[in-house]
């Protein structure tokens, strides 16, 4: 009599096409996000979503496999072989599913670490350059305001005061010179008047010479009338006449020289008066211009000082912002802890798969096998890793550095 061994009818579980392709698509998108220069938060979110999807598929795979074994187990030996083969396939599938997730997590960890390191170096350099800029601004501000510099150093305020003092002295000097020029012009006018008196004297000398000439002429006439007795007197009359003519010529020369001198004095008087007026006007105009320029210089100096003060405040605010940014860079610790926790969860999933495979291979009773799997899974979950980061953003929770 031929006996036939009952066959175990197994329904091989295959994940639904949409879920399966969604998991692969999520893995591809995660790798693409990591490969590009997307923000770290986006990369981390994509990795976590992908891991969650794969975890759901694995959990569904385990549940479906267990149900399949419980419903279709008929023959013990055949069921044992089937369970062993299914466990092996399950373990292989789990390894294939978890490998991209682990690789993605390692890439995320490396990208976060490198990016954080570069950001820290950049912020450190920014703080250093900001300190140098602030020091230079403070030095410039001190030089503009005078500050604690030595008295030998010339500041803008001291420069303005020195220029104003120098110009004041210059204007005072020009005023004095102008006054002296006016006095000199007055003296020249007095000399011109004195020259007029000299001309009057010369006129009198000219009249005296004319009278002497006339007297000599009369004496010569009388000597001619006297004949031989008046010859000696005629000689004297001729000499007196010659002396009168010479005196007249000398008087004319003196008059001409005096007239030239008077003309020169008049010209000098006009020049001195023009110089006095010109010096005074130029000095006053120059002082007014310099006063206006100094006023603008002082205002510009004050504007520069105010700008430097404002820039210094901005530089200090930048330092505060950079310090806050450096403090915020601790997100790497939170992200690293989250990635580490996800890696531990992946390892836990691997361990769970091993537990399922071992129980499927060791037990012939499906119910007992499922009970043992459930017990060991509960024990493993109770002793499993806990999340060390509970915050949802940088303002929440604390960071446990490890």
Q: In angstroms, rounded to a whole number, what is the distance separating the alpha carbons of residues 399 and 402? A: 9
Helical (H) or strand (E) element with 231: helix 231-328
- What is the model's pLDDT at position 199? 79
Q: Return the pLDDT at 8.
A: 39
Q: List pLDDT tens digits, range 225-239.
A: 877 777 777 788 788
- Ordered by where they begin, the domains of the chain are 17-147+330-382 (no CATH), 156-316 (1.10.287.950)
Q: Is the pLDDT of residue 324 over 50?
A: yes
Position with higher pLDDT, 376 vs 308: 308
Range 128-131, long-range pairs (CB < 8 A, 24+ positions): 130/315, 130/318, 130/319, 130/322, 131/319
What mean pLDDT is predicted for residues 333-357?
71
Cβ atoms of 342 and 47 within 8 Å: the answer is yes
Structure confidence at residue 21 as a pLDDT band (50, 70, 90) = low
Q: What would the pLDDT profile of 4-14 be if each residue is shown by its tens digit?
A: 333 334 444 44
Provide the pLDDT for residue 101.
67
For 253-285, write each residue's pLDDT tens digit.
888 888 888 888 888 878 877 776 665 666 677
DSSP output for 51-85? HHHHHHHHHHHHHHHHHHHHHH--SHHHHHHHHHH
Give the model's pLDDT for residue 402: 34
Span 290-294, mean pLDDT? 78
The rounded distance, in Å, linking the Cα atoms of 167 and 304 is 25
Q: Write down the pLDDT at residue 73.
A: 45
Lowest mean pLDDT, pick from 7-16, 80-89, 235-244, 330-339: 7-16
- Residue 144 above 70 pLDDT? no
pLDDT recorded at residue 247: 81
Q: Write out pLDDT tens, residues 25-42.
A: 666 666 666 666 666 566
Q: Which residues contact 286 (CB under 8 A, 6 or more apart)?
A: 167, 170, 171
300 and 144 Cβ atoms separated by less than 8 Å: no
Does the pLDDT at position 24 exceed 60? Answer: yes
Global pTM?
0.37
Q: Is the pLDDT of residue 209 over 50?
A: yes
For residue 353, pLDDT over 60 is answered with: yes
Give the range with max mean pLDDT: 80-94, 143-157, 176-190, 387-401: 176-190
pLDDT averaged over every residue in the chain: 69
């Amino acid at each position: 009599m031929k006996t036939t061994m009952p066959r175990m009818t197994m329904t091989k579980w295959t994940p639904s096409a949409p879920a399966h392709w969604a998991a692969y698509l999520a893995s591809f998108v995660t790798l693409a996000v990591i490969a590009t220069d997307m923000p770290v938060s986006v990369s981390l979110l994509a990795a976590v979503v992908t891991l969650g999807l794969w975890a759901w598929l694995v959990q569904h795979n385990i549940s479906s496999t267990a149900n399949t074994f419980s419903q279709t187990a008929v023959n013990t030996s055949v069921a044992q072989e089937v369970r062993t083969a299914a466990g092996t396939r399950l373990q292989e599938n789990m390894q294939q599913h978890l490998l991209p997730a682990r690789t993605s997590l390692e890439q995320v960890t490396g990208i976060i670490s490198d990016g954080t390191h570069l950001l820290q170096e950049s912020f450190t350099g920014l703080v250093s350059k900001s300190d140098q800029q602030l020091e230079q601004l403070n030095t410039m501000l001190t030089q503009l305001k005078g500050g604690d510099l030595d008295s030998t150093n010339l500041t803008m305020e001291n420069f303005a005061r020195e220029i104003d003092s120098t110009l004041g002295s210059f204007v005072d000097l020009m005023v004095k010179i102008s006054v002296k020029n006016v006095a000199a012009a007055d003296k020249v006018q007095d000399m011109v008047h004195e020259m007029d008196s000299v001309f009057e004297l010369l006129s009198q000398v000219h009249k005296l010479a004319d009278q002497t000439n006339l007297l000599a002429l009369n004496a010569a006439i009388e000597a001619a009338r006297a004949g031989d007795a008046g010859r000696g007197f005629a000689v004297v009359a001729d000499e007196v006449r010659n002396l009168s003519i010479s005196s007249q010529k000398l008087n004319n020369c003196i008059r001409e020289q005096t007239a030239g001198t008077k003309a020169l004095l008049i010209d000098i008087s006009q020049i001195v008066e023009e110089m006095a007026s010109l010096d005074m006007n130029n000095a006053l105009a120059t002082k007014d211009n310099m006063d206006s320029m100094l006023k603008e210089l002082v205002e510009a100096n004050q504007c520069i000082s105010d700008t430097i003060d404002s820039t210094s405040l901005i530089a200090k605010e930048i330092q505060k912002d950079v310090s806050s940014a450096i403090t915020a860079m601790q997100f790497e610790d939170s992200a690293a802890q989250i990635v580490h926790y996800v890696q531990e969860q992946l390892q836990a999933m691997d361990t769970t798969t091993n537990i399922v495979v071992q129980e499927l291979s060791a037990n012939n009773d499906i119910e007992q096998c499922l009970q043992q799997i459930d017990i060991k899974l509960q024990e493993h979950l109770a002793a499993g890793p806990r999340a060390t980061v509970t915050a949802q953003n940088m303002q929440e929770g604390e960071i446990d550095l490890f």
